[in-house]
Amino acid sequence: MGLWPIAEAPDPCSLLFMAFGAALIYLGVTKNLEPVMLVPIGFGMLLANIPGAGLNDPPHGILYLARRYLLETEMLPSLAFLAIGSMMDFRPLLARPTLLLFGLVGQSGVVIAMITASVLGFSVREALAIGVIGCADGPTAIYVATRYAPHLLGAVGLAAYMYISMVPILQVPLMKLLYTRRELSIAMRHVGEEDVGRAAVVIFPLTLTVIVGLLAPKAIPLVGMLALGNFLRECGVTEVVERLAKTSSTALADVVTLFLGLTVGSSLSAQAIFSTPGMVLKFAAVFCLGIVAFVSDLLFGILAGKFATLLSRGSINPAIGASANSAFPISARVVQRVVDEAAPGNIVLMEAVTTNLAGQLTSPIFAGVIMTLLSRLGI
């Protein structure tokens, strides 16, 4: 009798993907690299590649059903933004609205990666799905990939969350290389959030929904849910805040995160990937282009910070530009840590959080604008 007298023997590719899944679990558990996402993704890969288990097979496999009816219908990314909105406080951004411009600059990596992917031979739809990895926003990347390049969903989702976990590793050396100690020592005048009235906080998500809906309707599934979550948080109705907002920011957020990870991991099946010609090379290219997108985001944010310092005649600390991305609030904390090392006691955390908020807010809007333009062009 062979080594597998009853069960089906795993092929080398499946074993490789199972090992990769186990490695993601290891990184999440022992190295604390985005564990709430890497652990479910790793388990999804592990379960999807066990031969004969049938968890990933139609019509009744549980991973197949979760992927088809929760992920491919865009329900999970949309619910993720509902949870995100219920956790976000936009008062810092409303008190400093000019810093929203940093969030727009922080999406530069999307364009750079899209152009590079197109030059390498990817279709426009595939290039968009790859480029949105640069948003540094997992649900947005998954949402766009589901619509435009479902065959790349696993690679896009995994790349997005892996590189989000690597933001501190990438951001610190770039900041230390491109900022001088003198620049990092600039003290900023703090603007009080108490100046933001309650009416502005309540009206903001409603106004956001209407404006984005009229200008970029393709962004509404994400932005609309984010606005709903934020409105539940800020409406002031005790029953709504204590029940709906609290549930959205806790239990719902945890369940959605778990199923996002599992379904993204389950799409990384060796059988599906190796049975499609050229798919292995495409997956490798996605991970390489993801790094291009992330590094471009950081570089453009850093340069935007230096430009803002120049325009403001030294009243803006350029370091806040480095957190103009959607890796909230990790990137803002990294900015404060680097600033504190260069100039102990210089606090720029609130301003860095604001540019980080701007990046989080603009990422689904930016992706929606591109999707709306492509829709108008018939792509």
Residue 215 has pLDDT above 90, yes or no: yes
What pLDDT sits at residue 274? 85
Residue 3 has pLDDT above 60, yes or no: no
Confidence class of residue 125 from pLDDT cuts 50, 70 and 90?
very high
Residue 5 has pLDDT above 70, yes or no: no
Rounded-to-integer distance, Cα 312 and Cα 379, Å: 41
Residue 376 has pLDDT above 70, yes or no: yes
Distance (Å) of CA 51 to CA 45, 63, 148, 262, 270:
12, 14, 29, 17, 10
DSSP 257-271: HHHHHHHHHHT--HH
Rounded-to-integer distance, Cα 145 and Cα 62, Å: 22
Residue 44 has pLDDT above 90, yes or no: yes
What pLDDT sits at residue 1? 45
What single letter denotes the amino acid at residue 257?
T
The pLDDT tens digits of the residues spanning 334-375 come to: 999 999 999 999 999 999 999 999 999 999 999 999 999 999
Residues 6+ apart with CB under 8 A from 248: 82, 83, 85, 86, 229, 232
What pLDDT sits at residue 8? 66
Residue 210 has pLDDT above 50, yes or no: yes
Indicate the range of 98-102, 133-137, 246-250, 371-375 predicted with least confidence. Answer: 133-137
Q: What percent of the chain has pLDDT over 90?
A: 78
Phi, psi values for residue 231, rounded to 5°:
-65, -40
Smallest Cα–Cα separation from 367: which of 210, 139, 167, 193? 139
The pLDDT tens digits of the residues spanning 252-289 come to: 999 999 999 999 999 999 988 887 888 899 999 999 99
Greater pLDDT, 163 or 307: 307
Q: Is residue 66 within 8 Å of residue 259, measured between CB atoms? A: yes
What pLDDT sits at residue 328? 85
Smallest Cα–Cα separation from 346: which of 192, 180, 193, 188? 188
pTM of the model: 0.92
The pLDDT tens digits of the residues spanning 84-115 come to: 999 999 998 998 899 899 998 889 999 999 99
Residue 9 has pLDDT above 70, yes or no: no
Confidence class of residue 11 from pLDDT cuts 50, 70 and 90?
confident
Report the pLDDT averaged over residues 200-211: 96
Q: Is residue 89 within 8 Å of residue 232, measured between CB atoms? A: no
The pLDDT tens digits of the residues spanning 62-89 come to: 999 999 999 999 999 999 999 999 999 9
Report the pLDDT averaged over residues 181-208: 88
The pLDDT tens digits of the residues spanning 138-185 come to: 999 999 999 999 999 999 999 999 888 888 889 999 999 999 999 999
Rounded-to-integer distance, Cα 125 and Cα 245, Å: 35
Smallest Cα–Cα separation from 92: which of 359, 358, 280? 358
What pLDDT sits at residue 55? 92
Q: Is residue 325 within 8 Å of residue 106, measured between CB atoms? A: yes
Report the pLDDT averaged over residues 325-329: 86
What pLDDT sits at residue 193? 66
